[in-house]
Amino acid sequence: MTGKREMTIHYMDGSKMKLDFPVQTASESAQVIKLKEALAGRHVVVEADGALLIIPFENIKYIQAYPAPAKLPENVIRAASFTG
């Protein structure tokens, strides 16, 4: 598990936080489960530089994560493009 991932959390107030991190699990199926659990939990939990961050979804406008996992939940719109 050597691949790097990055995530930008865009907050409701216009600020943003960029994070990079290693792949959390090699199993694509486990990645889908972790994503579903995070969405159900209504918060993002991150350990970064020795600190624990618990970020309520109510403070988040949206999250960008790169690269997108190959396997995603069934309700994800795929192959979309930014147009404007």
- Is 54 inside any structural domain? yes
- Is 77 inside any structural domain? no
- Is 80 inside any structural domain? no
Reported as a single tens digit per residue, the pLDDT across 5-41 is 999 999 999 999 999 999 888 888 888 888 888 889 8
Task: Give residue 59's domain range.
Answer: 4-66
CATH number for 45: 2.30.30
- The total of structural domains in the chain comes to 1
Asked if pLDDT for residue 2 goes beyond 80, the answer is no
- Is 28 inside any structural domain? yes
pLDDT of residue 35: 86
Reported as a single tens digit per residue, the pLDDT across 62-83 is 999 999 888 888 889 999 999 9
- Is 41 inside any structural domain? yes
Count the neighbouring beta carbons within 10 Å of the beta carbon of residue 9.
Answer: 20
Q: b/e per residue, 43-64, with b = 16+ CB within 10 A?
A: ebeeeeeeeeeeeeeeebeeee
